[in-house]
């Protein structure tokens, strides 16, 4: 494990609480363990790590996010999301490949939704030209894939659309695809909340 990864993991365990850990693991399920650290502790730990290990560049930040995500502990994976959110200014459209793996493995709203709204959405907002087009094509592909990816593709543009920006036509097409999917046998419970949230801003 990298020095930054060890720092974050040790801090999260130190901030943990056994009762909270048991509650989080029971509520989330899906094989996720928990240290019982609060969301505030996770955010503070990532902030402290970025101060302690100043100068981390794109590849190092991406590797650290993957390192944190690799262990199925809720707070580690949440720390990976906070790290990416804090580093969105250096992310590239090619990072969607890594993020796609996170979405596939996340499988709980407490991880999948922040990935979509706090990482993927802001990443899209700062892209333009060919890079934006390539990123949007990736999300269009997600709409034909498994339910958690469809959920992420629907949620990603919500903040931009809510602020009066974004590609309304593309979002409307994705919504139509999602609504069509809800008419067929599918894990509706995964996709339907994203459909309702997107509808509310269109």
Q: Do residues 202 and 175 make contact, with C-beta atoms less than 8 angstroms apart? A: yes
Q: What is the DSSP letter of 145?
A: S
pLDDT at 186: 55
- Cα separations in angstroms, 154 against 35, 138, 140: 31, 12, 10
Q: Which residues neighbour 56 within 8 Å (Cβ) at sequence distance 6 or greater?
A: 4, 50, 64
pLDDT at 115: 97
User: Which of 151, 135, 158 is CA-nearest to residue 192?
Assistant: 151
Which tokens belong to 69? 């995500």
Q: Do residues 114 and 81 make contact, with C-beta atoms less than 8 angstroms apart? A: yes
Instruction: State the Cα–Cα distance between residues 202 and 189, nearest whole angstrom.
Output: 21
Q: Which residues neighbour 33 within 8 Å (Cβ) at sequence distance 6 or greater?
A: 21, 25, 72, 73, 74
- Cα separations in angstroms, 182 against 93, 112, 147, 188, 192: 29, 19, 10, 6, 8
Q: Do residues 110 and 147 make contact, with C-beta atoms less than 8 angstroms apart? A: no
Instruction: State the Cα–Cα distance between residues 35 and 32, nearest whole angstrom.
Output: 10
Instruction: State the Cα–Cα distance between residues 196 and 77, nearest whole angstrom.
Output: 26
Q: How many alpha carbons fall within 13 Å on the CB side of residue 90?
A: 12
User: Mean pLDDT in runs of 10 for the chain (202 residues)?
Assistant: 96 94 89 94 97 95 98 97 96 96 94 97 95 96 94 96 93 92 68 93 92
């Amino acid at each position: 494990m990298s020095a930054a990864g060890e720092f974050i993991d040790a801090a999260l365990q130190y901030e943990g609480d056994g009762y909270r850990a048991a509650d989080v693991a029971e509520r989330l399920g899906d094989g996720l363990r928990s240290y019982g650290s609060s969301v505030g502790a996770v955010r503070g730990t990532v902030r402290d790590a970025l101060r302690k290990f100043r100068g981390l560049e794109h590849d190092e930040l991406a590797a650290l996010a993957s390192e944190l995500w690799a262990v199925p502990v809720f707070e580690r994976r949440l720390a990976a999301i906070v790290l990416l959110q804090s580093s969105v200014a250096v992310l590239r459209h090619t990072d969607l490949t890594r993020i796609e793996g996170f979405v596939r493995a996340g499988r709980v709203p407490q991880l999948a939704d922040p990935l979509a709204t706090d990482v993927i959405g802001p990443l899209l907002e700062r892209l333009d030209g060919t890079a934006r087009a390539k990123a949007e094509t990736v999300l269009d592909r997600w709409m034909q894939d498994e339910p958690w990816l469809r959920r992420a593709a629907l949620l990603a543009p919500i903040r931009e659309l809510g602020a009066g920006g974004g590609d309304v036509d593309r979002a409307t097409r994705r919504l139509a695809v999602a609504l069509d999917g809800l008419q067929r046998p599918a894990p509706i419970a995964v996709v339907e909340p994203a459909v309702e949230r997107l509808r509310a801003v269109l």
